[in-house]
Structure 1
């Protein structure tokens, strides 16, 4: 078959295109490379590949303007939520098993089956507790002492008699600080629903007398083997009232809770309109926070090593359950990926504590710093996940199969543009003794 001049031009154009990475045997598999700046430049040349291969996405049970903007800027078109012709399904909830079984080998969805083993607070507690029992309490001492009520009410009362608190109460399946409150007496707890009661960390590390926590972004691309990446940047979220251990302030959420969704309602909340200023107001970049601590003489290298250790141990606590679900429901190993939002509190001794793991962490960009961090993160994530340049309406699986096989041989193969750093590659945890690293 002879190629027309236009076909030759298109072929050469795609070969040299900045949005194409060639992988697989003899580098014949075209994988899309994403560029965060595309949402600002709206470059038609960047849209070329997505449009040429008719790449598409659908968004179900959620709304993410950032995800939509990045995909659109790379030539993806949005299809109806009921359509089966898509390269990416971005959803706010878990998929039913029958939907997972229908995924083709070029289709991606942003949740693993049974990810709630990490993101539901009661399941997270149970999984970490099991690892403490199996591998030693000190090895997995990553959560404050916790009880599930009403089931463990008597055990909680026994601990309360030895340490009157304060304690913090959280619903098992909520987010954004909803339903969270502090108590210093069991009589203040409502037992109408399942809740968690955890020992409140009353010696938090402070910056300028304000309590803060850190939101970290963790990408898992496989649970069998377990392959996880930590994004190099995150967010430090500050309370809006100076911290005071006095019990008279126990009900002041603006002092004790660091959630942005809580503190943005405070009259003392300070925002920053300059994306280049990362250490002003109630939301800093994580790197700005680390620079501040280093200037104060703190050992930030050891701190981040301990944070990585905490993340790895958290993920492997649920690895078996999620990997088993993947084997049961997924016809193709590379169909799912997951971006988790880890919320970590650092105490005055520089010990990191896991507060929770968020399913579908917020991608809202309420400030320029949000857009600066999250747009780059999502673009790098999509590049790492690896979208094969193939029209989803063409049900050929040969290209995607070879691409996924190549990824399995080298699960940490990643483009140089990515700011996700590999932190974990494990084939099961039977070898685990002491630290996970």
Structure 2
């Protein structure tokens, strides 16, 4: 009988051709529509409707719930949950959890934003890699230069960067492994014996974070490297293993660890796939999955799983001279072996009249006979090495494992995990201590629970239930159905963390990786009373990462004289990011760490003005020799920020502070606010300082560094009569300086001025600012050449302080 296949999804000829040519021409022909097919080959993940009416005779190349592996952040979560559970099972031992030390730490945004910032703060030398959660082909992947600037959007994740990779011919590489999951009940996992080492196109340089061709191995990225003689190079695993042996390494030991890693990775997502299949009503006998697992090998020849790819690329990426012909041969043969493995070209079934157990074992052995170059990893020839990693094996898993075991195999037993129980009127009530939920078990479930928590194994519980059912029964109970009910009930309880397997000894131990992701330290709350103009506020936070970035900036503003009434500014960790709360009112939220300091400074600036006051957000240079003189220097429009003002302060041996408050009362002294200088974050070095200050982000995400104001500037009373406006160039005949009108000065300065609450100046404020500028010296100066302005700033020619009093 002719059967029909259909191919769909985000498809291309390259993704389809191997599947199509692998099908038997006498048995298969293309379907006319997406509804009528017996085999579906879908690139990407199809809608749930595609999983209806599946079975042994109608198959699709995906398993519901596979995103527990194929979404990068979910992969880490699946493996972390598995490691957490086996750690509980071991109760102080480490043989199982040691084997799970093969995946780097991942922080999923936005929920893990603060945990990541803490980890980056605690490990300043560690590097991280930023990845889109659900992208492929290397899109969006980049090394993190500044942890504070990591995006908080839910589409991103940060992964610990594995340092010191093993290199091949001086270049970093990852292994592309092809893995087939042919069944989830029982779980059957195969690793293809061939695959590839994918090489980066530039020599590995740990210090060159700006060169993606050095640290990324994705073919789509490296194909863009026009400087590489061979931008995309694939080395098949046969040649790779031979090369390892030539280098004096034991490739058998490495690949034994690789196989263990692959098996445990697939096991970590098993219950997610089973539950999703159950939810959408998919018969998993019609589901299978081909995964492309990327594995990094470090310099100690330890394998690390980086990601699992859905519908791995079947395109030929390498050129003929760099492994392309071999790549095409491996991929074509692999798809043909996959088609045979899942039985698309084999319509023979199991003869009738056999028991469910016999049928299950026959199907398992028949599939293995069709495996070609696929090596079966699960069920393992050593079942005892993997049964403890199942949340709880299902009956089908147990039967196959017992048949494969060379000796007696001990059934798993269970213990309470997150549960307390009580018995009342022959019923058991189970309290979920994790969720705070109380449930009542029916009579059969109560018996299963009580026997399981007494340490009785699943099949022994089933035997006890069968003996009870036979008493007075007219017909023999269905032993298979009773056994399935017991194993499934216990599996559901273990999935919900009510029960957990007891520890199982005898598993080979691998030296663990030192755990360096300890819980964040409990920090002392940070409190700093700050005076800014006429505004006094207590700044509070309990975030060590925020404290490290804003503490030095607030120190010059610290106030010792506490007013009876002052404001309270809290910097609170939220999801996502940080929230600023001023006197109980949220004023900013969803701030990334890189934006917090500037948001705090903006809050201080806007609230430092009282009614009628004017704030000028510009640099203030105070002469050390003449304490009664200072200069107001506007921020440079050419991207230099406060660098001209800082250079001027350095030449004059003066102090620096940012922002000036002009009180509304005529004749009253002006106040220096003492905010930090803003200088470019990249590309320009502050000539006045050898220190490297933390990088922050403006609202437009332009990077700036904040340099604390000089001590003693904040709150200084002053009278200013000189304003400098730095520009990039002036005509030669003007010798780097030119006197300008009030109107031209306002054009440069007005955008840096505000009134009370940060509002633009009203008519009265604008008039007062103009009047003040009318009586001041006003100059355009070339930002990069301040020699011309120095003679204009001799003592007595600029401004006079009224006192050295602190105005906060």
TM-score, normalising length from structure 2?
0.43
Structure 2, unpaired ranges of 5+: 88-96, 318-323, 380-385, 393-411, 413-502, 511-808
Q: CA deviation at 1:270?
A: 5.3
Contact kept? 2:22, 2:339, Cα under 8 Å: no
Q: CA deviation at 1:117?
A: 0.9
Contact kept? 1:171, 1:195, Cα under 8 Å: yes
Contact kept? 2:341, 2:371, Cα under 8 Å: no
Contact kept? 1:270, 1:282, Cα under 8 Å: no
Contact kept? 2:3, 2:38, Cα under 8 Å: yes
Q: CA deviation at 1:400?
A: 8.1
Alignment of 1:337-348 (within 5 A): 337-348=288-299
1:313 counterpart = 2:278: no
Q: Give the Cα–Cα distance (whole angstroms) in 1 for the partners of residues 290 and 359 of structure 2.
A: 19
- 2:187 pairs with 226, 233, 237, which one? 226
- Choose 263-272 or 109-118, whichever is displaced more: 263-272
* Residue in structure 2 matched with residue 170 of structure 1 by the alignment: 131
Q: CA deviation at 1:163?
A: 2.1
Q: CA deviation at 1:331?
A: 5.8
Q: Give the Cα–Cα distance (whole angstroms) in 2 for the partners of residues 436 and 221 of structure 1.
A: 28
1:158 counterpart = 2:115: no
Structure 1, unpaired ranges of 5+: 1-52, 273-280, 391-397
Contact kept? 1:341, 1:358, Cα under 8 Å: yes
* Residue in structure 2 matched with residue 143 of structure 1 by the alignment: 103
- Choose 398-407 or 408-417, whichever is displaced more: 398-407
Larger Rg over CA atoms: 2
1:291 counterpart = 2:242: yes
Q: Relative to 1, partners in 2 of residues 1:161 and 1:331: Cα closer, same or farther, differing over 3 Å?
A: closer
**In the TM superposition, what whole-angstrom CA distance separates every residue of 1:16-49 from its partner, at most 9, and x where no partner exists?**
xxxxxxxxxxxxxxxxxxxxxxxxxxxxxxxxxx
* Residue in structure 1 matched with residue 7 of structure 2 by the alignment: 59
Q: CA deviation at 1:301?
A: 1.1
* Residue in structure 2 matched with residue 254 of structure 1 by the alignment: 213
Q: Give the Cα–Cα distance (whole angstroms) in 2 for the partners of residues 365 and 401 of structure 1.
A: 42
* Residue in structure 2 matched with residue 371 of structure 1 by the alignment: 328
3-state DSSP class of the match of 1:380? helix
Q: CA deviation at 1:87?
A: 2.4
1:109 counterpart = 2:71: no
Alignment of 1:343-422 (within 5 A): 343-366=294-317, 367-387=324-344, 408-410=360-362, 411-413=364-366, 414-415=368-369, 418-422=372-376
3-state DSSP class of the match of 2:117? helix
Q: CA deviation at 1:196?
A: 1.4
Contact kept? 1:339, 1:359, Cα under 8 Å: yes
Q: Give the Cα–Cα distance (whole angstroms) in 2 for the partners of residues 404 and 96 of structure 1.
A: 35
3-state DSSP class of the match of 2:262? helix
**In the TM superposition, what whole-angstrom CA distance separates every residue of 1:241-286 from its partner, at most 9, and x where no partner exists?**
001111xx102111010111111221245569xxxxxxxx721001
* Residue in structure 1 matched with residue 175 of structure 2 by the alignment: 214
Q: Give the Cα–Cα distance (whole angstroms) in 1 for the partners of residues 257 and 371 of structure 2.
A: 26
**In the TM superposition, what whole-angstrom CA distance separates every residue of 1:303-329 from its partner, at most 9, and x where no partner exists?**
101111111111111111112233444
**In the TM superposition, what whole-angstrom CA distance separates every residue of 1:163-200 from its partner, at most 9, and x where no partner exists?**
23221011111111111000132133222343111111
Q: CA deviation at 1:429?
A: 4.2
TM-score, normalising length from structure 1?
0.77
Q: Which one has more relative contact order, counting CA pairs under 8 Å at least 6 apart?
A: 1
Contact kept? 2:189, 2:376, Cα under 8 Å: yes
Higher strand share: 2
Q: CA deviation at 1:83?
A: 3.3
Q: CA deviation at 1:141?
A: 1.6
**In the TM superposition, what whole-angstrom CA distance separates every residue of 1:330-376 from its partner, at most 9, and x where no partner exists?**
56442011111110000000110011000100111242122110111
Q: CA deviation at 1:60?
A: 1.3
Q: CA deviation at 1:156?
A: 1.0
1:236 counterpart = 2:197: yes
* Residue in structure 1 matched with residue 378 of structure 2 by the alignment: 424
- 1:182 pairs with 131, 140, 143, which one? 143
